[in-house]
Amino acid sequence: MIQHKDAAVSPVVGVMLMLVVTIIIAAIVSAFAGGLAGDQHKTPQANLAVTGVIQSIGGTINPTKYPYVLTYPPGYYAANGLKFENNGGDTFSLNDVAIQLQSEDTTYTLQPTDTPNTTATTTYPGSILTPGITNGGYFQKIGNTSLSDTTIAPGDAFMLYADGNALAVTYPGGSTWSSSTYGPEITWEPVGAAHGFGVYLGTKLQYKVIDKASDRVISSGELYLTQ
């Protein structure tokens, strides 16, 4: 009678199967992790110095009329806004960022696709940006030779232009309202926007430059606008 001694075969086969399964699982996990890493977007970081540029405030409001009528002197233009300087860090494109502004309890976000309102109405005279600036929208690289140049590298600077402004105005009091004085201010009123945004000079303005792909902040800070 021949006896077969194969008692050790099953444990060996079991160990080999476990090793194969472990290797397969490790390969799947590695491929999955590599795919996630490849899909991650690196948020650029830059040291941006921000200053207010107030060239001129010339708009006037008639507080006795509602809606309030805003007017400017004939032939009036101004290139007010915020100047951003990249003092070090990553390079980014103006097409890839949004800028969030906050004054007191009001927050407003401007996109690179927003365009200044140049259409005059009975209450709004349209943009007063210096001719040539309006065509480039709110976000414009300083010193660029072409409006298509939107790359902001260290050493570069760009403007967030404001397309309106108004001098200080006193609103008269009434039966339920007390008189109050506001301004001067600079304003943004994009085409198609339900509401615009204004910030009074001498008040704190907070800003965030946001990377649109990751919805993360590239740079943030605050400043006080002065003339």
12 and 96 in a single domain? The answer is no
> What's the predicted TM-score (pTM) here?
0.78
Query: Count of domains in the chain?
Result: 2
26 and 136 in a single domain? The answer is no
Tell me the DSSP string of 122-185. Answer: SS-----PPTTTGGG-SEEETT-SSTT--EE-TT-EEEEE--EEE--EEEPP-SS---EEE--E
Question: What's the domain range around 163?
Answer: 46-224
Quickly tell me which residue has 């991650």 as its tokens: 40
75 and 173 in a single domain? The answer is yes
| Contact present, 163 and 116 (Cβ < 8 Å) | yes
28 and 99 in a single domain? The answer is no
101 and 7 in a single domain? The answer is no
pLDDT at res. 191? 86
76 and 182 in a single domain? The answer is yes
8 and 109 in a single domain? The answer is no
81 and 24 in a single domain? The answer is no
pLDDT at res. 172? 76
Average pLDDT per consecutive 10 residues, the chain (227 residues; last block may be shorter): 52 67 70 53 91 93 76 90 96 96 94 85 78 78 81 95 89 70 88 87 95 94 92
2 and 25 in a single domain? The answer is yes
pLDDT at res. 68? 74
102 and 10 in a single domain? The answer is no
103 and 204 in a single domain? The answer is yes
Alpha-carbon gap, residue 198 to 190, rounded angstroms: 12
12 and 74 in a single domain? The answer is no
pLDDT at res. 36? 47
pLDDT at res. 139? 93
pLDDT at res. 194? 80
